[in-house]
Structure 1
Amino acid sequence: MLQIGMFLGDRYEILEKIGTGGMADVYKARCHKLNRLVAVKVLKPEYCRDKSFVSRFRVEAQAAAGLTHPNIVNVYDVGDEGDMHYIVMELVEGITLKEYIAKKGKLDIRESIGITIQVAQGMNAAHQQHIIHRDIKPQNIIISKDGKVKVTDFGIAHAASGDTINSSSGTMGSVHYTSPEQARGGYCDERSDIYSLGIALYEMLTGQVPFDGDNTVAVALAHIQNEMVPPRQLNPTIPVSLEKIILKCTQKKPERRYTTAVELIADLRKALMMPDQDFVKAAPKEDMSNTQMIGVGTLSAIREGEQEDADSSGQAFASEGGQQTGSAEGEVPDGYEDAEDYDDDQMEYDDEEEYDDGRYDEDFDDDEDLKDSRFDKVILGAGITVAVVIVVLALYVIARAFNIFPGGGGKETETSATESAIEGTTLASTQTRMPNLIGASVNDVDSIMASSFLKASYQYEYSDEYEKNYVCRQQYEEGEILDKQTTVTVWISKGKEESKMPDVVGKTEEQAMAELRSLNLNLNIKQETEYSADQEAGRVTRTNPSKDQDLKTGDTVTVYISLGEEAEEVEVPDLFKLTQAEAASRLAERKLSLGEVKEDYSPNVEAGHVISQDIVSGTKVEAGTRVGIVISKGKQTEMVRIPSVVNSTEAEAKKTLEDAKLKVNVTTEHNDSVDAGRVISQSPSADTEVEEGTVVTIVISLGKEVVYHEIPDMRTMVEGYIRGNMTALNLIPVFEYGTDSSVEEGQCYAQDVPPGTKLPEGSVVKFYINRPPSTNSGDNAG
């Protein structure tokens, strides 16, 4: 017995029981590995001993686990512990569509279309994987708190294939929503789900199901034989196009319905945009019950009822044991519940409180027929008979194939030709056809290939669609003609490609999304936000699953994005007439920061002080909020145009500028072209418009710049040498002649300016040259 607080698989802690049904109980649990809440569906103990029920329970898990779609309740895990079998699935908080219809009476047009589109999208995802739900009804449709519509309960879903036929021993589905072909126990495909969705849409818009009766047989016969009341007769507000969509979905013959859910979705979207237009290519012209097993006797009664008057359907039916049982009018035969007595409200729902999780209640009936010994005997007998026939046929085919029967060599050719004629082409005795291996177990491939006289070679690859060790691809298409003993390459699935959850904590949202998508696992990435003291806003705080956890294709990953540290509310202070530094300090005291700083003139506030702030003082804001201020530039002055003072004397320039209410700054420099004492230039330049009191800088000329040279020592130098050096220094040499025995004749023995003295260019320097008296007469300085 499962108890609150127990663990399943050392991972799932049972928290509370949230639903129950005919076959299973549903519990709310916590997955401690991924730290999330889940729903755990546990098969009831009385059915764990029944291999057929356990098998059916596993089929539910296998069918649903392969589906990942926003409009389907996700299945996360499946397991068993001892004799206990369970499925772990997404925990959805919401209300069933059946309860929603009961609460509102009927839904409006746009709401009904929106719900139907979402259900059809979920169906389409299943149909693309060849899975038929076979029990689409409002009880199996959940509307979550955020408005998301999800299809649940794939307990009777069936993996469809080209030869999907309902078992003659029973047919599944809730009778008020079942398709005619399901009621007959005939071929069931995607169009059967479309029929059931059409009935659900009818109920959404009218508040009632189109067919009702005293018992399941009467309702099933009505689906097969009767025409429904057009929904517009019950609700005139239904647009013509939407009525035609319903009528097309619910055609008796599947080929007259929508072929795919995609086609249905397209017309529903048109109905939203063009409700009164005639675009539906349609053929002319509620149930509160749980999912039931329609037994052999009931199915026979339905089939017989198609040939009899529908009014007799409630009178007498063949019992499961083959005997006739009578009942008074309105009485339900053994093994069937009155439709009026079905109780879908196995969960409580209060408008003022949160939705109960009882939506996971199973819709399987507690039909006593399932446990009736007579029924078991009928099923057992039928099963044995079918098994014997299959074995005999198989032995016969094998015997013919290996030429066991007398008659020898011609038989194989004859058999091959006969079998090939069925395919439309006669094969030679050396030829065979490629069988379909897709979905087959690797353990069965060799025997299947051998029966077709072929051999297999194996390669392995990851597959999102097929489980590990099952065929996901084959070299040749089914039916292709090959030579016998040809070796065919077969690809075996390694299961979904797995990876490890990368560490994206601390990265930006964009970086985290890019890294997750780069894994190419087609992940269902969800984003949540939360406050964090460790990560700045916009960065990842944590993920679910956490880093290094296993990831498979299609897994759901939740990324939590930081909103920054959750801030307390503080009051904005008054910053009026404070300096900028004082304002910043005052804000910091309140855990606020200085925002944008602007400047403006103010006749009343001193320059450098706050005139105003962009958040009024006293306002409550989050800590860390930035508060902008405007700083005063003082009283605004008049603008003046700067006059030209170039070439004016310094005194003239000062007077002109001061008369214009400007201030003057004087600098000097040498200039070869402007006389000393006059203005060379001004800044700002003339005609510039500036405020009163602006400083204008004028440059006064010092005249041509004077260059000084140091006088070298020319003693003992001859006259020609001295003349060349002085000329190079822009100095003027003058020579006088005399006699001095200290130097040789023609050399300088003295100069009037001592060596090392600095003289301006153009200065005269006198040099004395030694010359004897006989040669001095008549000589001039020169």
Structure 2
Amino acid sequence: MAPNPTSATSTVSSSTSAVLQHIQSHRDVPVEQLFTRLDIVGKGAYGAVYKGIHNATGTVLALKVINLDTAEDDIIEIQREVALLSQLRDSDRHNCIGYHGCYFYQTELWIAMDFASGGSIRTLLKPGKIDEKYTQLIVRETLIGLNYLHRQEIIHRDIKSANILLTNSHRVLLCDFGIAAPLQSTNHKRSTFIGTPYWMAPEVIADGRLYDTKADIWSLGITLYEMLNGNPPYSDLTPAKVILKIPRSQPAKLEGNQFSNGVKEFLAACLIDEPNDRPTAEDLMKHKWIKSISKAPLTPLKELTNRYTRWVNSG
């Protein structure tokens, strides 16, 4: 059965890369001729992500391969992710993973995206905690991505270190839009309980309570805590217990002189219990902790990948 590109390929990223130009002009080429699927680099709820090669240019890409022989509810979620990726076709300029198109192959859907060779921040945490000077840069770049999403009235709903990637050119990219969702047009809020419990805002956990983009701000704060401490708060508890713990507890704080007052204040702003009092992504981009490194280059982030390589090689 010859695979055919879906209509989503007509709404690919506006990037001028040779990959996109080739894909646009070869829409009828079978997917296995366009790409070579290599090693698996990650697994998700609906499939796996592979390292791949765009055969015409030799460019390395990420290929998310989803088995369509699954429940109807799952298919709806997959359709939503593809639609959202298509909507975010300019996102590669705003620190969200670049989307190159999707293709059917037998019972699979292949989604071609940018490949971040540096891996996720969660992977880069394996050797140990990340110093504040690096988290500052990562958070700054993550805010650019969040601000872009929120201006499109989209909630990511699963911000955590595992969904923040680092490229070989030290770019920071948001990924995994599998549970991202547009705000409801009637009241610009959502009420669905979804996300990863440890990073989840209190209003998301609360039964039936509406929430909006401020939920991502809370998750960003927990991600910052995670980077600085190695794990999110309550990581020693089961997810079921965390769901009970978060709404009943005071927000996490950074303790100790190893953390600057700036990062402590930034975290406290992200973790304000009342979402209406929480700053927006745009507000946080103006926070003094971020403004102090507003023009700093991203090249220092190379040390994180170097550290990880040393850790792997040490056995």
Determine if the TM-score, normalized by the shorter chain, exceeds 0.5: yes
Work out whether 1:151 is the aligned partner of 2:164.
no
Contact 1:251–1:257 (8 Å) recurs in 2? yes
Deviation at 1:77, TM superposition (A): 0.4
Report the counterpart of residue 173 of structure 1 in structure 2: 195
Q: Assess, with a 3 A threshold, how the Cα gap between structure 1 residues 212 and 30 changes in structure 2: closer, same or farther.
A: closer
Contact 1:75–1:88 (8 Å) recurs in 2? yes
For the aligned residue pairs, the C-alpha RMSD in angstroms reads: 2.6
The aligned amino acid for 1:172 is: I
Work out whether 1:39 is the aligned partner of 2:62.
yes
Q: Assess, with a 3 A threshold, how the Cα gap between structure 1 residues 352 and 175 changes in structure 2: closer, same or farther.
A: closer
The aligned amino acid for 2:284 is: L
Q: What do residues 525-575 of structure 1 show as CA deviations (whole Å, max 9, x unaligned)?
A: xxxxxxxxxxxxxxxxxxxxxxxxxxxxxxxxxxxxxxxxxxxxxxxxxxx
Percent pairwise identity: 25
**Structure 2 runs not aligned, ≥5 long:** 1-29, 295-307
Contact 2:251–2:273 (8 Å) recurs in 1? no
Which whole-Å CA distance do the structure 2 matches of 1:110 and 1:350 have between them?
A: 20
Report the counterpart of residue 183 of structure 1 in structure 2: 205
Deviation at 1:98, TM superposition (A): 1.5
Contact 2:42–2:48 (8 Å) recurs in 1? yes
Which whole-Å CA distance do the structure 2 matches of 1:23 and 1:139 have between them?
A: 16
Q: Assess, with a 3 A threshold, how the Cα gap between structure 1 residues 95 and 39 changes in structure 2: closer, same or farther.
A: closer
Q: Assess, with a 3 A threshold, how the Cα gap between structure 1 residues 262 and 230 changes in structure 2: closer, same or farther.
A: same
Q: What do residues 327-349 of structure 1 show as CA deviations (whole Å, max 9, x unaligned)?
A: xxxxxxxxxxxxxxxxxxxxxx7
Contact 2:214–2:278 (8 Å) recurs in 1? yes
Equivalent position SS for 1:134: coil
Which whole-Å CA distance do the structure 2 matches of 1:351 and 1:240 have between them?
A: 31
Contact 2:184–2:190 (8 Å) recurs in 1? no
Mapping 1:283-298, distance limit 5 Å: none
Equivalent position SS for 1:102: coil
Which whole-Å CA distance do the structure 2 matches of 1:106 and 1:350 have between them?
A: 15
Deviation at 1:213, TM superposition (A): 5.0
Report the counterpart of residue 260 of structure 2 in structure 1: 239
Contact 1:25–1:44 (8 Å) recurs in 2? no
Report the counterpart of residue 56 of structure 1 in structure 2: 77
The aligned amino acid for 1:53 is: D
Contact 2:153–2:183 (8 Å) recurs in 1? yes
Which whole-Å CA distance do the structure 1 matches of 2:267 and 2:273 have between them?
A: 12
Mapping 1:86-101, distance limit 5 Å: 86-101=110-125
Which whole-Å CA distance do the structure 1 matches of 2:202 and 2:34 have between them?
A: 44
Which whole-Å CA distance do the structure 2 matches of 1:73 and 1:56 have between them?
A: 19
Report the counterpart of residue 252 of structure 1 in structure 2: 273
Work out whether 1:134 is the aligned partner of 2:157.
yes
Report the counterpart of residue 116 of structure 1 in structure 2: 139
Which whole-Å CA distance do the structure 2 matches of 1:65 and 1:208 have between them?
A: 33
Deviation at 1:21, TM superposition (A): 3.1
Equivalent position SS for 1:62: helix
The aligned amino acid for 1:94 is: G
Which whole-Å CA distance do the structure 2 matches of 1:122 and 1:73 have between them?
A: 9
Work out whether 1:351 is the aligned partner of 2:310.
yes
Equivalent position SS for 1:251: coil
What's the TM-score, normalizing by structure 1? 0.32
Report the counterpart of residue 48 of structure 2 in structure 1: 25
Work out whether 1:65 is the aligned partner of 2:90.
no
Q: What do residues 469-496 of structure 1 show as CA deviations (whole Å, max 9, x unaligned)?
A: xxxxxxxxxxxxxxxxxxxxxxxxxxxx
Mapping 1:173-322, distance limit 5 Å: 173-185=195-207, 186-212=209-235, 214-231=237-254, 233=255, 235-258=256-279, 260-267=280-287, 268-270=289-291, 272=293
Contact 2:141–2:172 (8 Å) recurs in 1? yes
Deviation at 1:256, TM superposition (A): 1.5
Report the counterpart of residue 100 of structure 2 in structure 1: 76
Deviation at 1:181, TM superposition (A): 1.5
Contact 2:251–2:272 (8 Å) recurs in 1? no
Pairs aligned (count): 266
Equivalent position SS for 1:28: strand
Q: What do residues 621-652 of structure 1 show as CA deviations (whole Å, max 9, x unaligned)?
A: xxxxxxxxxxxxxxxxxxxxxxxxxxxxxxxx
Which whole-Å CA distance do the structure 2 matches of 1:38 and 1:212 have between them?
A: 33
Contact 1:211–1:228 (8 Å) recurs in 2? no
Which whole-Å CA distance do the structure 1 matches of 2:141 and 2:252 have between them?
A: 26
Greater C-alpha radius of gyration = 1
Q: Assess, with a 3 A threshold, how the Cα gap between structure 1 residues 198 and 159 changes in structure 2: closer, same or farther.
A: same
Q: Assess, with a 3 A threshold, how the Cα gap between structure 1 residues 82 and 100 changes in structure 2: closer, same or farther.
A: closer
Deviation at 1:352, TM superposition (A): 7.4
Work out whether 1:102 is the aligned partner of 2:126.
yes
- 240-249 vs 25-34, greater mean Cα deviation: 25-34
Mapping 1:322-333, distance limit 5 Å: none
Deviation at 1:221, TM superposition (A): 2.2
Which whole-Å CA distance do the structure 1 matches of 2:34 and 2:180 have between them?
A: 27
Deviation at 1:177, TM superposition (A): 0.5
Which whole-Å CA distance do the structure 1 matches of 2:163 and 2:129 have between them?
A: 18
Contact 1:110–1:272 (8 Å) recurs in 2? no
Equivalent position SS for 2:147: helix
Contact 1:119–1:149 (8 Å) recurs in 2? yes
Which whole-Å CA distance do the structure 1 matches of 2:206 and 2:261 have between them?
A: 31
Equivalent position SS for 2:92: coil
Q: Assess, with a 3 A threshold, how the Cα gap between structure 1 residues 217 and 88 changes in structure 2: closer, same or farther.
A: same
Report the counterpart of residue 109 of structure 2 in structure 1: 85
Which whole-Å CA distance do the structure 2 matches of 1:51 and 1:34 have between them?
A: 36
Contact 1:69–1:125 (8 Å) recurs in 2? no
Which whole-Å CA distance do the structure 1 matches of 2:236 and 2:242 have between them?
A: 5
Deviation at 1:165, TM superposition (A): 2.2
Report the counterpart of residue 14 of structure 1 in structure 2: 37
The aligned amino acid for 2:282 is: V
Deviation at 1:172, TM superposition (A): 1.7
Q: Assess, with a 3 A threshold, how the Cα gap between structure 1 residues 130 and 97 changes in structure 2: closer, same or farther.
A: same
Mapping 1:556-571, distance limit 5 Å: none
Equivalent position SS for 1:37: strand
Q: What do residues 685-740 of structure 1 show as CA deviations (whole Å, max 9, x unaligned)?
A: xxxxxxxxxxxxxxxxxxxxxxxxxxxxxxxxxxxxxxxxxxxxxxxxxxxxxxxx
The aligned amino acid for 2:174 is: V
Deviation at 1:173, TM superposition (A): 1.0
Report the counterpart of residue 16 of structure 2 in structure 1: none
Which whole-Å CA distance do the structure 1 matches of 2:45 and 2:70 have between them?
A: 15
